[in-house]
Amino acid sequence: MTTKKIVLLDGNSLAYRAFFALPLLTNDSGIHTNAVYGFTMMLQNILADEKPTHMLVAWDAGKTTFRHQTYGEYKGGRQKTPPELSEQFPYLRKLLEAFNIPQYELDQYEADDIIGTLSTTGDADGSEVIVISGDKDLTQLASEKTTVYITRKGMTDIEKYTPDHVKEKYGIEPQQIIDMKGLMGDTSDNIPGVPGVGEKTALKLLKEYGSVENVYQSIDNITAKKLKENLTNNEEQAYMSKTLATIEVKAPLTISIDDLSYAGPDMDKVTSIYQELKFKTLLEKIAPQEAEKPQEAIDIQFLTEITEADLTDEMAIHIEMIEDNYLTADILGISLADEKRTLFVTLAVAQQSAIFKEWLGNPANKKYTSDSKAAIASLAGQGLIAEGFEFDLLLASYIVNPSSTYPDIASIAREFGRADVQPDEVIYGKGAKKSVPDEEKIAEHASRKARVIWDLRDVIETKLKENDLYDLYHELELPLAKILCQMEVTGVKTDLKTLQEIGSDLSAKLIELEAAIYEAAGEKFNINSPKQLGVILFEKIGLTPIKKTKTGYSTAADVLEKLESEHEIIGLILTYRQLGKLNSTYIEGLSKEIHEDGKIHTRFQQALTTTGRLSSINPNLQNIPVRLEEGRKIRAAFVPSEPGWYLFAADYSQIELRVLAHISKDEKMIEAFRAGADIHTKTAMDVFGVDQDAVTSDMRRAAKAVNFGIVYGISDYGLSQSLGITRKEAATFIESYLNSFPGVKAYMEEIVADAKLKGYVTTLMNRRRYLPDITSSNFNLRGFAERTAMNTPIQGSAADIIKKAMIDMAKRLEDEGLQTRMLLQVHDELIFEAPEDEIEKLKQIVPEVMESAIALDVPLKVDWAFGLSWYETK
């Protein structure tokens, strides 16, 4: 038996969604393509996942519909379709024709009504129906046989509304969606609803009375005075709103389900449209080999012996590895390129060549590479010393735009217009299929990389100079790469025994807690599964769910803390989670990362964060516990690598607020830092208008939270969450803060305005971050971009400063001839290991160097400590 599978798409809604979800892409010919692209991506996924037998894209027809006879203002006040979107509709229609997907529109009806009519018919026939839209109104069509897919951000992300899911999400049946709209209205369609009734009230009323009609029949039972008044005065409007929101399921269609049969696309036509629109990734999906024009052959010299003539004082060099952890990966070969030649040598040939080793170690020979840190570290692992890296493609492209992250050289090259390097995944495969190909293939791949590095250097350096970014790149990031390399290669000695002792202690406690939790719950379950835990807490025990996630009840710590007094199990779970985290991530996780030399070698990602910070991976040594004592003990396992040595830690005090004081030029804040005041206490004095002696610990705590909020780009909601107060109270706090610090207030306003004007913000050292969403009409995106505009200059400048300090520090250690080694950077602190007899010197030079990394309008302050383990440096 064959059942039909009918997919019905809401064309206009999906095009709008795609348009606003994706950045305004233009192809080479200047045509905007984002809506077509997003629509197509979604379509491809649906075709692949659902394999429909019948399909239709329904469009809205013209301006007026039968709903306008009911209410002239229906969809009134809507902004005109942006021209950048309008111009994309013809392409969408053409594309759908190429896919052989039927399209339909009907005068006086909206796409919803076409879909509603067909889904109802299909449903009655026993067919499986999928409705796809960006508009949640369509969830009213959900039924046993009909599922409604609503796209979420990014288009390919989809939320599936079955009747159960509607019920779970809203607590009502799909048919009641129209009652909900009747009561709350819909601003986007200009449906009025009942004033003063929003989603919450509407749902409450419906849970009690079931429908708009029943609400009015029982109107006398409603006690809330204002609500009753609003309902009574707007009865007609409520009924009308419900009618407007109701999708017509008996539209006079001139097509039937049989007209929708779908047999697959006309690939030739699809390909030609993709080519016209320059959809490269989509083209590759269809025909990987045809996607690109055949690659031009590259002439490679495969050297078995290196002569002086092969090497010059200016060359691109690339170290090819299949694994991304260059600290442990094997080197598959080395490629070199200059203006004329492209060379490839195996590791063995390189290692045996005195000529090559001399060339490599001589800094006068300028080397251009991608990821100099990886190059230096991997070569050092093979006993090859490399000096003189003058260009780093990875860092340069990151500085041009830190928001674009690249998985490999191919994608960087592509960004700058070069398509002649294949992605690593294509050469090596991925997942289980990943393997080393024959040497010829490696040689070609590596050589193409060296070639593109050579060719792009000039292009990218020019771009850096144009944007005033060259200094940041060349004087800060490039020298830092070498220092980070040294830190990674040095590693941190980690005492496995200490970890194991803490681990067995934790394990014992976890077993006890586990038993106590099962006892309290009355059954065994997986405590680590939020899903199972949610069932136990909120269904079996019957606690009140405070927050929901996409997938169910939230069981996050802040939620559980609010329930702690309700049931003994909560406290046990919180402790279990805390200790479980320590055990799995830190004890077990870190133990696995200890190398044969007894050390952990993290890698610092220098071209990743959007703000300019570093990140640490494999393992992450920037998030070792410190806030709670149980976790802090983990730090006892990190020790000096030589007998008689110490760990020495130094951190910037309040660096972000000092940066804020400087860039905002707020006089009060500058004054406070110059006077050496406790900034949170000072903030409390100003915000609450009291003397220092009258500042209570609660006031200081609140002031501290506001200071954090300010740094993050404050919102009343965020502050209310962190302080556990109402939004209104939070808003009052913020207002009195900004009145106390007018310079800060002005800065926040100016930076957002400036970002809107220029499209980006910068840090003290000119690091740039582009914020395309800052002019978005989407409230969320814009709000996020605005907060980012406020935060990035602060977080990013602090990152600039500590990077500069690291460079100065490395130089100082060298100049002073000290043995001290820099080991770690944790955003505002530096960790060193040092022989005992250098500690006195460090006490003096570390704060001196760090504090003078940059001159601000306020002093920088550094605190330090030393001890026999990281735990003791407090």
Within residues 47-66, the interface with DNA by CB under 7 A covers none
| 172-211 residues near DNA, rule: CB under 7 A | 187, 198-199
| 720-749 residues near DNA, rule: CB under 7 A | 721-722, 727
Kindly tell me which residue out of 638, 712, 741, 871 binds DNA, with binding defined by CB under 7 A. Answer: 712
Q: Does 79 bind DNA (CB under 7 A)?
A: no
Kindly tell me which residue out of 584, 696, 775, 852 binds DNA, with binding defined by CB under 7 A. Answer: 584
- Output the CA angle 760-666-774, nearest 5 degrees: 20
- Beta carbon nearer to DNA, 298 or 725: 725
Kindly tell me which residue out of 545, 589, 835, 847 binds DNA, with binding defined by CB under 7 A. Answer: 589
- Beta carbon nearer to DNA, 78 or 441: 78
- Beta carbon nearer to DNA, 99 or 712: 712
Q: Does 569 bind DNA (CB under 7 A)?
A: no
Minimum distance between the CB of residue 765 and DNA, rounded to whole angstroms? 17
Q: Does 44 bind DNA (CB under 7 A)?
A: no
- Is the four-CA dihedral 704, 708, 711, 717 of positive or negative sign? negative
Closest by CA position to 832, among listed 874, 798, 865: 865
Looking at the chain, the number of H-run helices and the number of E-run strands are 39, 25
Kindly tell me which residue out of 436, 511, 556, 694 binds DNA, with binding defined by CB under 7 A. Answer: 556
Minimum distance between the CB of residue 528 and DNA, rounded to whole angstroms? 4
User: Which neighbouring-strand residues pair with 92?
Assistant: none
Minimum distance between the CB of residue 711 and DNA, rounded to whole angstroms? 7
Residue 354, Cβ density class (10 Å: 0-12 exposed, 13-18 middle, ≥19 buried): exposed
Q: Does 713 bind DNA (CB under 7 A)?
A: yes
Q: Specify whether the CB–CB gap between 280 and 291 falls below 8 A.
A: yes
Q: Does 718 bind DNA (CB under 7 A)?
A: yes
Kindly tell me which residue out of 286, 489, 826, 854 binds DNA, with binding defined by CB under 7 A. Answer: 826
Q: Does 433 bind DNA (CB under 7 A)?
A: no
CA distance 344 to 442: 9
Minimum distance between the CB of residue 776 and DNA, rounded to whole angstroms? 11
Residues 6+ apart with CB under 8 A from 121: 256, 257
- Beta carbon nearer to DNA, 147 or 555: 555
Closest by CA position to 140, among listed 10, 254, 14, 4: 10
| 679-708 residues near DNA, rule: CB under 7 A | 705-706, 708
Neighbours of 523 (CB within 10 A): 8
Closest by CA position to 92, among listed 149, 153, 17, 150: 17
Residues 6+ apart with CB under 8 A from 149: 46, 130, 131, 132, 133, 158, 159, 160, 161
What DSSP state is assigned to residue 586? I
Kindly tell me which residue out of 212, 543, 624, 860 binds DNA, with binding defined by CB under 7 A. Answer: 624
Torsion angle of the four alpha carbons 696, 700, 706, 710, in this order, in degrees rounded to the nearest 10: 150
Size of the chain, expressed as the number of residues it contains: 874
Q: Does 529 bind DNA (CB under 7 A)?
A: yes
Kindly tell me which residue out of 234, 616, 763, 820 binds DNA, with binding defined by CB under 7 A. Answer: 616
- Beta carbon nearer to DNA, 139 or 611: 611
DSSP helix/strand/coil, 4: coil
Minimum distance between the CB of residue 592 and DNA, rounded to whole angstroms? 7
Which among 207-215, 610-618, 832-840, 865-873 is the span making contact with DNA, rule CB under 7 A? 610-618
- Beta carbon nearer to DNA, 552 or 835: 552
| 665-684 residues near DNA, rule: CB under 7 A | none
CA distance 296 to 48: 33
CA distance 198 to 227: 11
For 171, the token pair is: 């607590």
Q: Specify whether the CB–CB gap between 533 and 527 falls below 8 A.
A: yes
| 225-284 residues near DNA, rule: CB under 7 A | none
Q: Does 622 bind DNA (CB under 7 A)?
A: yes
Kindly tell me which residue out of 65, 246, 378, 610 binds DNA, with binding defined by CB under 7 A. Answer: 610
Minimum distance between the CB of residue 197 and DNA, rounded to whole angstroms? 9
Q: Does 503 bind DNA (CB under 7 A)?
A: no
CA distance 731 to 553: 28
CA distance 689 to 35: 53
Sheet holding 158-161, edge to edge: 103-104, 54-58, 5-10, 128-133, 146-151, 158-161
Closest by CA position to 129, among listed 139, 114, 140, 144: 144
Which among 64-72, 317-325, 495-503, 827-835 is the span making contact with DNA, rule CB under 7 A? 827-835
Tell the residue number behind the tokens 């990152």, with chain if given: 799
For 559, the token pair is: 């939620």
- Beta carbon nearer to DNA, 324 or 387: 324
Q: Does 544 bind DNA (CB under 7 A)?
A: no
For 11, the token pair is: 């064309």
Kindly tell me which residue out of 45, 53, 162, 615 binds DNA, with binding defined by CB under 7 A. Answer: 615
Q: Does 490 bind DNA (CB under 7 A)?
A: no
Q: Does 416 bind DNA (CB under 7 A)?
A: no
Kindly tell me which residue out of 12, 422, 555, 683 binds DNA, with binding defined by CB under 7 A. Answer: 555
Q: Specify whether the CB–CB gap between 747 and 664 falls below 8 A.
A: yes
Q: Specify whether the CB–CB gap between 673 and 651 falls below 8 A.
A: no
Phi first, then psi: what are they for 824, rounded to 5°? -140, 155
| 750-809 residues near DNA, rule: CB under 7 A | 779-780, 783-784, 787-788, 791-792, 795
Which among 54-62, 331-339, 524-532, 837-845 is the span making contact with DNA, rule CB under 7 A? 524-532
Q: Does 714 bind DNA (CB under 7 A)?
A: yes
Q: Does 431 bind DNA (CB under 7 A)?
A: yes
Q: Does 491 bind DNA (CB under 7 A)?
A: no
Number of residues that bind DNA (CB under 7 A): 79
